[in-house]
Amino acid sequence: MRFTEIGQQLRAYRLESGLRAEEIAARLGVSRAALYRYEKGEVIKLDTIKRLAELLKISPLSLLGIGVEYYSRMAAYLERLRQIEETADQILQDFGPVCYLATSDAYDAALADAYADVAEQAGADRSALKVASDQALNLLAARKKLYTARRPTIIAIFPVGSIVRFLQTGVAGSIAVSDRVRRRCRQVATAEIENVATLMATEPMGIQFGLHMGGDPNGSFKILRGRDRATLCVNPFRTDNHPAIQTGVAMITGAEEAIGVHQRIAEQHWREALKGPAAAAKVRELIAEAGV
């Protein structure tokens, strides 16, 4: 058994459960320090794995990394995605107006402003919303820091419709925020899409962006490939919604059939997409039409 990977799964499922580390440790009959050691890859007995799985309401096989993983909490999915990105050499993204890992710090700042604005309007729920947003923002920042250090290859396909909506509504476009924050979010969105156009035009090593002129896919997915494995991540959670108030079930699997089907869809979209200077010119047309 790969105890490091079991520990990673344990941390993600702990976030999925919504239980604090001390609660799980107490129910398991171990110290919180012991639980953290398990998460860091310390040898864990099969009987303990079974008890953890029962406590977290998952199959022991899921905790062992066998089969399909499901996450209904954004934080749990982001943590699991960060773990997979630690060993990924290539990231293929289909759908979305931007690739988060290639966005600027201004994107994170605008997202933080939008999340904070929601919390300020929430009254009694303010504390819970702040905890959820801080958790999501910290995980997003950890992913971007990891990408900066490792620089895996990125291939991303952006549908025209996604970019148009992003320009119109801005960062966190589905969140009700003040006019001041919305103006800033739209300005940041415009700058991010201009950066997409620049990357399309210059085609730097390690980044390939394409513009798909057809309709939007039904959902967003990523295929991450490392030295000895590939992983499919299907994600219903979007940063334009607050992490505490969106619903959905993310799926992560290493099943060859699932990866193959999604790979074929992405390859078709990539063949159909505009690339290079032609894509950049079209994106800049969309910016001009938006008139932000």
pLDDT tens per residue across span 80-123: 999 999 999 999 999 999 999 999 999 999 999 999 998 888 77
Structural domain that includes position 198? 74-290
pLDDT reported for residue 8: 86
Q: Are 284 and 197 in contact (CB under 8 A)?
A: yes
Count up the domains in the chain and report the number: 2
Residue 37's CATH number: 1.10.260.40
Same-domain status, 277 and 136: yes
Same-domain status, 191 and 97: yes
pLDDT tens per residue across span 136-191: 999 999 999 999 999 999 999 999 999 999 999 999 998 989 999 999 999 999 99
Same-domain status, 123 and 236: yes
Which of 33, 66, 99 is the endpoint of a domain? 66
Residue 273's CATH number: 3.30.870.10
Which of 39, 66, 93 is the endpoint of a domain? 66
Lowest-confidence region among 66-70, 105-109, 188-192, 222-226: 66-70
pLDDT reported for residue 291: 79
Same-domain status, 175 and 282: yes
Query: What whole-number distance in Å separates Cα of residue 248 and Cα of residue 113?
Result: 24
92 pairs with which residues across the strands?
155, 223
pTM: 0.86
Sheet holding 88-94, edge to edge: 69-71, 250-253, 230-235, 220-226, 88-94, 153-159, 207-212, 274-275
- Determine the average pLDDT of the residues in 5-23: 87
Tokens of 26: 């107490």
Which of 20, 39, 66 is the endpoint of a domain? 66
pLDDT tens per residue across span 263-275: 999 999 999 999 9
pLDDT tens per residue across span 125-148: 788 888 889 999 999 999 999 999
Same-domain status, 251 and 216: yes
In the chain, the amino acid numbered 143 is R
Same-domain status, 116 and 7: no
Same-domain status, 42 and 80: no
